[in-house]
Structure 1
């Protein structure tokens, strides 16, 4: 395993929820890796070589074999390094975890960002707030224990880092109430437990620079919309 660990690389940007997922999983597994910070405005040759299809981060490189898409990467990591599993060995439970992780990406990530950044289209914003709220309600009802993995963090919890960390940050910028303890008490309590977990806390990006980044983007969109 030591040989494998010497040949593990993660290409990413620090403020990406998808990159953050991979960092959390690697930390859980205790895998040493080299993090390569990418500039998405000027993509490196390695990024274009390793992910020629989407040209996006994260890209996980193990023994020169590249893997793209964060949920695919999480599954790969779990299969290669058996310690501290994040997916159940039971085929049904594993399928459920995959389903809910994909649900988060398909129904919550996109609509939440659109709800915040649709500054010049009130109808579009309302539609996306409604979609996010509906999806978060469904997820709230699915949460049965302390974590989606019961007493331990699992694949779905890691996929949901976007809800715990990124939604509260971007909704503050747009003065929206997409996600809070009144609307989603179970999910909110989960988010606090999750963010305070030592492994998660250690691998979150610094909040202030990320807030400043999204705020400047939001202000630029507002300025453009008012012209």
Structure 2
């Protein structure tokens, strides 16, 4: 490449860098939480902590409007890396069959308020028969992250809590969260939004032998932020311009 071509290429790179810098905000602003939660349950530990209860089936987001029963077909028996997408609705949506789609109202910059709605459902079996945790959300109560279910009869009920939680906000203003799942102290969202402040520990009909026994793991990863189309168009044009310049250089030689 001759001197003129090199100068043109260097100028193009500087222009591209400056252009993308203008498109990217100097300081990322937080926004409503997006992404996917991945949950894994260790049934050996879960059974130990609950006196024999196990999580048997996972029903993904395609079952959001379906009444969950012990005889419902179509779920997965794997309890590893279950995908619970973050809901995009900002108001809770009610469906027949006692189902709701929990809203996402939490801003990534303030996780002390609001909630993160999650799509997905589980079935459990134990001494009392079948139980169905569904219509999940993540929310903080007293500084502790809680995985909460909702039912029109029992309303908001804490299923599990996060221990060793790690949260951060990335350069795009999106929340990342991870932690171990335990039964914890059985903290209820609020007595005003729960029937008698019940938790899933109460439903199981046993005294949780070890509230701090890790029974699973949860990780929340943000949705990918797409690169603006203008950046790709500008970059393609720049590469084309450099190609033409290189062609001219070869012809001149």
Whether the TM-score (by the shorter chain) exceeds 0.5 is no
- More helix per residue: 1 or 2? 1
- More strand per residue: 1 or 2? 2
Q: Based on CA coordinates, which of the two structures has the bigger radius of gyration?
A: 2
